[in-house]
Amino acid sequence: MKKLTRRGANIEEAISAALKTLGVMREQVKVEVIDKGKKGFLGFGAKEAEVTVTVTEVIGISPALEDATESAPKSKNPEVLSPLTNTSEELEDHAILPSEKHEDDLAEQPSDKNAIIETENYLKQISEGMGINDFQITSQVDGKYVTFQLESKKAALLIGKRGQTLNALQQLSQLVTNKYASQFKVVRIDVGDYRDRREQSLEQLAERMADKAVRSGRKVQLEPMPSYERKVIHNALSNRLDIETFSEGSDPYRYLTIEPIR
């Protein structure tokens, strides 16, 4: 039994992608919705839908049809063939073999290289719109992770206040990359060594706020942060036994709370 999981901008696109790869019709499969996805707002917080499609009907000649083929009378007109008198060779001439179908599907699938190129072009267009003319970009792929390294004398414009511009570019670039990639990719964008410096700053902030929560006996709420920055703080405080951390709110305003354990 063939089974396939696919993602798409919505449920219908995910189903269509799976049907195309499997080479079957909608009525020949069973669909299980893994994630309905969400549109987000202005590209932020968007999430792809995910479905699992299982083929329930095998395409082929039924035994009854094969029996009828053998017992059916030959057509008196040799130039006119009854549907039941087609030989297996004739059927094969008009059929797409599974291996051939698989190769066609692979040829139609977008490549990771194309996804990288499209994302780089997108980032270049954004930088030009920001008035950055010395923009340079390099990329590195490690499995499902893609890192884009940006360079410019106007790096501060690309980073923005507390990395807000850079985080926005990262979220939008992830949408562009996964629009063209054959498999889901996690995108990371960095300018110089900003991400490393930001992580060190977050770890220091985590310790200060944890100490404050313990001294005051009250929970401390941090400013809204993207998920990977909240994860940095979670990890930095994971070994402390005098506090606990958890996230509250909804993206893009989700924030982390540090609460002392009494």
Domain-embedded: residue 83: no
- pTM equals 0.51
Residue 62 binned pLDDT confidence (cut-offs 50, 70, 90):
very low
φ/ψ (deg, to 5) at 190? -135, 150
Would you say 147 and 140 are in contact if contact means Cβ atoms under 8 Å apart?
Answer: yes
pLDDT tens, residue by residue, 129-186: 999 989 999 999 988 999 999 999 999 999 998 888 998 899 899 999 999 998 899 9
Instruction: For residue 64, tell me if it sits in a domain.
Output: no
Domain boundary among 175, 192, 209: 192
**Residue 170 belongs to some domain of the structure:** yes
Q: Is residue 118 assigned to a domain?
A: yes
pLDDT digits (tens, 9 = 90+) for 4-48: 888 887 888 888 887 777 777 777 778 888 887 776 554 555 678
Regarding predicted confidence, which is higher, 87 or 48?
Answer: 48
Please identify, among 192, 210, 231, the residue that sits at the C-terminal boundary of a domain: 192
pLDDT digits (tens, 9 = 90+) for 183-235: 899 999 999 889 999 999 999 999 999 999 999 999 999 999 888 899 999 99
Q: Are residues 207 and 152 in the same domain?
A: no
CA proximity to 252, closest of 47, 11, 34: 47
The answer to whether residue 77 is domain-embedded is no
Residue where one domain finishes, among candidates 170, 192, 214 = 192
pLDDT value, residue 237: 94
Q: Is the pLDDT of residue 98 over 60?
A: no
Q: How far apart are CA 226 and CA 192, in angstroms?
A: 20
Same domain, 11 and 53: yes
Mean pLDDT of 106-111: 45
Identify the CATH number of the domain in which residue 207 sits: 3.30.1370.50
Are residues 19 and 41 located together in one domain of the fold? yes
Domain range for 120 is 112-192
Tokens of 196: 């490393």
Is 15 inside any structural domain?
Answer: yes
Spatial contact of 213 and 219, defined as CB atoms under 8 Å apart: yes
Domain identity same for 120 and 188 = yes
Which class for 96: exposed (0-12), middle (13-18), buried (19 or more C-beta within 10 A)? exposed
Cβ count within 10 A of residue 229: 20
Residue 250: inside a domain = yes
Domain count for the chain: 3
- Spatial separation of the C-alpha atoms in residues 144 and 109, rounded to whole Å: 16
Residues 154 and 213 in one domain: no
Q: Tell me whether residue 224 is in a domain.
A: yes
